[in-house]
Amino acid sequence: MLELENFCFTLEKDEELINLVDRVSLRIPSGHFTAIVGPSGCGKTTLLNTIAGLNPMSEGSIAWRGQDLEEHGDIEPADIGYVPQFSIAYDALTVDESIEIATKLKVKTYGHEDLDKRIDKVLEDTGLTQIADRPVKVLSGGQKRRLSLAMELVTSPQLLLCDEVTSGLDPRSEHDIVRRLHELSRQDGRVVLSVTHSLAHLDLYDSIIVLHEGKLVYHGPPDRLNHYFSVEDTDSIYPKLAKQNAEKWRLSWLKHREAFYQKMAKKRRELLDTGELKVPPHLLKLEDPEAHHELTSEINHGQASEPLEVDHTSETREEPKPPRGKRRRKRSKVPAAHVIEEDQHDTSPDDQQEELDLVETPNLVSQFFTLLERRIKIFSRDRGQLILQAAILLCFPCLVALFSAQGNEPLLQYPDVIDQSSTETIRKLTIISENRLSIGSTVSGIIMFQVVLLALMGSNNAAREIAGERQILEKEKFGGVSPIAYLASKLVFLTCMVLIQSLWMAFFVQFFWPFPGAEVGGGFSQHLIMLTMANAAITSICLGISSLMKTSEQASLLSIYLVGFQLPLSGAVLALPDLVAAITRPFISAYWAWAGSIDSLANRYQAAAKAVTETSLNFDNAFCMQVLGIQIIVGIIAAFIGIKRDQWTH
C-alpha cells in the first residue's frame, strides 16, 4: 500500500513559492495498477520523482506498507523500480548483457545458475527472450522501453514507477506494454504507477489519477472517468479541465473521493474473491480496513452514495497532518506554498510489517568488477573510439620523433682554455654557442611536445567519461550502485589508458631519440615517470571536470580549454610575468612534467636547455612529482564529489 497525504513538492521561483505537486492525498493498495494522466506540464514526472525520493518532499507525508518513510527511511533501492523517460541501456551491449549487468549491479546472486535463472525470468516477463542476443542500438522504440522495464525488474521491486514508457510508440507496442504492466501488477501484490499522456487502454488499469496544475483532481475507476468530468469521451477531459480553476477541481474531488474509494475497494474484493488478483496474505493484513485509519479528515465520511452530480464550486476545510519523526528521507528546505497544520497520524506499527523478502545488494567489490567489465566491453565495441585512440597513439609519438634528428646531433663543449685573441677561436666559440642553442631548444621542445600531446590524450580520455553517461549514473545510484565502486572502475580503466599511452610515447620516442639522461640516477626512467604523471594529472582533472559539469558539452569544452592553456601558460614558449606565473603555475601540469624531465637530463643538456628558456626551471624532479601527485589527488576528489552529488534531471 502506498499512501500519500497532502504530499507537496515546492520550488521557489522569483521569490515566489510554487507547489509543483500540491497537497496530493491518495491511497493505492497492493496488487494495483494505476495510470497518472494529465495535460503536459501538470506535474506527473515531478510527482513520480517526489514519490521516488529524487525530489525532496516539502510538506505532507508518504507511507509505504504502513510505514512513514520520514520515520523509517526511504524505500529500499531493491524494492522500488523507476523506469524513466530516457533510455538506461548502453547501445553497444546486447539485451541479454544489459539485463545481466543490471542484475549483477543490483542483486547478490549465488552462482551462474541463479544469475541465469533471474535473467531468463525477466526476459520472459518482458517478452524479450527472442531478441536477447540483439544489440541495444538496433532495437525498436517499444523494445527499448521493454528493456528499460526489464532492467528495473531484476530486483523484483514491489513498487514500480514508470514515466511515459509508452510515449512515441505505435498503438500495438503501446498496448503490449500496458498489458505487461497490468500483468506485473498482478504478481506478488506489486503496485505499478504508470505516467502516461495517452488516454488509450485505460480499461486495463485498476484506477486512474488525473493531475491538473500539480493538484489531484480525480483518482478512481477508469469507467467512471467520463461520468465524473461530465464528458462524452475521454479526449474531452483535458479541455474540460481548463475551464475551471485547478483548486476548485481539487476541492470537488475531495468531496467525492471516499465514495470512489469504496467503489474501488468493492471491485478489489471481487477480484480477490474470484482469484483474478492474488495478493500475499501479509500484505492484505497490512491493509486490513479494521486496522486502517482514515487517510485524511478532508474526506466527507457521510457520502457513501455514488456522486453522480459533481459540485465544482463547494469549498472544503483544509487540514493535513504529517507526523514529525526522525527525518531520514530528504525533505526540501522550501516550505510548501500552502502552510499546513500539524496533527496526529498513526502509522501502522512495526510488528505488522512482515519480514520482507528483499534481494540483497551486491557488495562494493562485486559492483566494481561489474562496472569495469561493462566499461571494457563498451570501449572494445566502440569502433569510432578505438580508431581514434589507435590513431592518436600512433601519430602523436611519430610527430615527436620527427624532431629526433636535430636532437641527436652531438652537443659541443666549450674548450677548457680559450685564447680570446685568435679569430679561429672566436669562430669556434660561435659555432659551439649556436650548437648549444639549437640542441638546448630541441631537447626542451621535444620534452614539452611529448608532455602536451600526452595532456591532449588525457583530456580525450576523461572529458566525457562521466558527463556522457550522467543520467544512467544517477539511475544506477538510485538503484543502489555505490559511488565508490563507480569511481574505482573509472580509475582502473583510465589508469590502463594512461599507462599504455605514456609508456608507448616514451619508448617510441626513446628509440629515435635516446633521452640524454643524467650521469647518476634519474635519466630516462625519471622522464618516463614525468610523462606518465602529466598524462595522469590531466586525465584525473578532466575526470573531475566531467563529473562536476552538468552536460558532456560543458565538460568537453572546459577540458579543451585546460589543455589549450597548458602550452602558453607553461612558460615554454614565452616567459610569463612573475605574478602570472606564480598564480597559474600550480595548475599547469605540463610545466611540472617539463621541469621534472629537464631536471633528469645530463648536466650538459640541462645547462643547454636552461640557457634557451627564460622561465625558471629550477625545481628538482622529486618536487615536480609531488605537485603532479597533488593534482592527481585533487582530480580524484573532485570526481568523487561530482559522482556523489545528485544531478537528477528529467
Ligand X SMILES: Nc1ncnc2c1ncn2[C@@H]1O[C@H](COP(=O)(O)OP(=O)(O)O)[C@@H](O)[C@H]1O
Told to check if 46 binds Mg ion by CB under 5 A, we report no
From Mg ion, ligand X, none, interface partner of 60 (C-beta below 5 to 8 A by class) = none
Which one of the spans 45-53, 56-64, 95-103, 552-560 is the region binding Mg ion (CB under 5 A)? Answer: 45-53
CB of 34 to ligand X, least distance (A): 15
Burial readout 421-458 (b: 16 or more C-beta within 10 A, e: otherwise): eeeeeeeebeeeeebbebbbbbbbbbbbbbbbbbbbbb
Which one of the spans 37-45, 93-101, 179-187, 616-624 is the region binding ligand X (CB under 6 A)? Answer: 37-45
- Strands 59-64 and 215-220 turn out to be unpaired
d(Cα 22, Cα 212) in Å, to the nearest integer?
10
First to last CA, the chain: 26
Told to check if 397 binds ligand X by CB under 6 A, we report no
Please state, in angstroms and as integers, the Cα–Cα distance from residue 387 to each residue in 382, 384, 391, 395, following that order: 9, 5, 6, 12
From ligand X, Mg ion, none, interface partner of 190 (C-beta below 5 to 8 A by class) = none
CB of 357 to ligand X, least distance (A): 33
CB of 37 to Mg ion, least distance (A): 11
What is the number of other CB atoms lying within 10 angstroms of the CB of residue 261? Answer: 18
CB of 41 to ligand X, least distance (A): 4
The residues pairing with 535 across neighbouring beta strands, listed in sequence order, are none
- Residue selected from 24, 42, 340, 466 as contacting ligand X according to rule CB under 6 A: 42
DSSP-based three-state secondary structure for 601: strand
Strand order in the sheet with 59-64: 67-68, 59-64, 2-13, 16-28, 215-220, 207-212, 32-37, 191-195, 159-163, 80-83
d(Cα 261, Cα 304) in Å, to the nearest integer?
10
Q: Per the structure block, which three cell numbers stand in for 557?
A: 569544452
If the CB atoms of residues 53 and 445 are measured against ligand X, the closer one turns out to be 53
Please state, in angstroms and as integers, the Cα–Cα distance from residue 320 to each residue in 62, 245, 327, 612, following that order: 12, 21, 18, 78
Please state, in angstroms and as integers, the Cα–Cα distance from residue 378 to each residue in 9, 140, 386, 497, following that order: 38, 20, 10, 14
CB of 164 to Mg ion, least distance (A): 6
Q: Per the structure block, which three cell numbers stand in for 408?
A: 641527436
- Residue selected from 29, 31, 43, 189 as contacting ligand X according to rule CB under 6 A: 43
CB of 38 to ligand X, least distance (A): 6
462 neighbors 542 (Cβ within 8 angstroms): yes
Q: How many residues bind ligand X (CB under 6 A)?
A: 10
From ligand X, Mg ion, none, interface partner of 46 (C-beta below 5 to 8 A by class) = ligand X
- Residues in 596-615 at the binding interface with ligand X, rule: CB under 6 A: none
Told to check if 40 binds ligand X by CB under 6 A, we report yes
CB of 44 to Mg ion, least distance (A): 5
If the CB atoms of residues 20 and 277 are measured against Mg ion, the closer one turns out to be 20
From ligand X, Mg ion, none, interface partner of 400 (C-beta below 5 to 8 A by class) = none
82 neighbors 338 (Cβ within 8 angstroms): no
d(Cα 4, Cα 160) in Å, to the nearest integer?
16
- Residue selected from 6, 10, 19, 46 as contacting ligand X according to rule CB under 6 A: 46
Spacing of C-alpha 289 from chain mean position: 41
CB of 46 to Mg ion, least distance (A): 8
Residue nearest to Mg ion (CB): 45
Q: Which of 571, 27, 68 is nearest to 294 (CA)?
A: 27
Kindly compute the dihedral angle of the four CA atoms of residues 127, 129, 132, 137, in this order, to the nearest 10 degrees: -20
CB of 649 to ligand X, least distance (A): 8
Told to check if 103 binds Mg ion by CB under 5 A, we report no
Burial (CB < 10 A; 0-12, 13-18, 19+), residue 65, is buried
Which one of the spans 41-49, 111-119, 127-135, 553-561 is the region binding ligand X (CB under 6 A)? Answer: 41-49
Ramachandran bin of 31, using left for φ above 0, alpha for ψ from -120 to 50, beta for the remaining angles: left
Q: Per the structure block, which three cell numbers stand in for 42?
A: 501538470
CB of 216 to ligand X, least distance (A): 13
Q: Which of 532, 527, 508 is nearest to 517 (CA)?
A: 527
Using only the alpha carbons of the chain, give its radius of gyration.
33
If the CB atoms of residues 57 and 455 are measured against ligand X, the closer one turns out to be 57
Told to check if 17 binds ligand X by CB under 6 A, we report no
Q: Per the structure block, which three cell numbers stand in for 338?
A: 500552502
CB of 30 to ligand X, least distance (A): 25
Q: Per the structure block, which three cell numbers stand in for 327?
A: 527525518
Q: How many helices, marked H, and strands, marked E, lie in the chain?
A: 23, 10
Which one of the spans 34-42, 139-147, 301-309, 527-535 is the region binding ligand X (CB under 6 A)? Answer: 34-42
Q: Which of 498, 518, 511 is nearest to 597 (CA)?
A: 518
Told to check if 44 binds ligand X by CB under 6 A, we report yes
- Residue selected from 45, 156, 460, 535 as contacting Mg ion according to rule CB under 5 A: 45
If the CB atoms of residues 214 and 642 are measured against ligand X, the closer one turns out to be 214
Q: Per the structure block, which three cell numbers stand in for 396?
A: 602523436
From ligand X, Mg ion, none, interface partner of 43 (C-beta below 5 to 8 A by class) = ligand X
CB of 281 to ligand X, least distance (A): 36
Q: How many residues bind Mg ion (CB under 5 A)?
A: 1
Burial (CB < 10 A; 0-12, 13-18, 19+), residue 557, is middle
If the CB atoms of residues 163 and 599 are measured against ligand X, the closer one turns out to be 163
- Residues in 344-373 at the binding interface with Mg ion, rule: CB under 5 A: none
Q: Which residue has the cell 652531438?
A: 410
From Mg ion, ligand X, none, interface partner of 451 (C-beta below 5 to 8 A by class) = none
Phi and psi dihedrals of 144, rounded to 5?
Answer: -65, -40
Told to check if 10 binds ligand X by CB under 6 A, we report no
Which one of the spans 35-43, 144-152, 344-352, 584-592 is the region binding ligand X (CB under 6 A)? Answer: 35-43
Told to check if 444 binds Mg ion by CB under 5 A, we report no
CB of 36 to Mg ion, least distance (A): 10
Which one of the spans 42-50, 144-152, 179-187, 532-540 is the region binding Mg ion (CB under 5 A)? Answer: 42-50
**Which residue type is seen at 519?**
E
From ligand X, Mg ion, none, interface partner of 40 (C-beta below 5 to 8 A by class) = ligand X
Told to check if 57 binds ligand X by CB under 6 A, we report no
CB of 195 to Mg ion, least distance (A): 6
Which one of the spans 38-46, 215-223, 539-547, 548-556 is the region binding ligand X (CB under 6 A)? Answer: 38-46
Q: Which of 254, 261, 202 is nearest to 233 (CA)?
A: 202
Told to check if 194 binds Mg ion by CB under 5 A, we report no
- Residue selected from 11, 132, 560, 581 as contacting ligand X according to rule CB under 6 A: 11
Told to check if 41 binds ligand X by CB under 6 A, we report yes
Binding-site ranges for Mg ion (CB under 5 A): 45
Binding site for ligand X (CB under 6 A): 11, 20, 38, 40-46
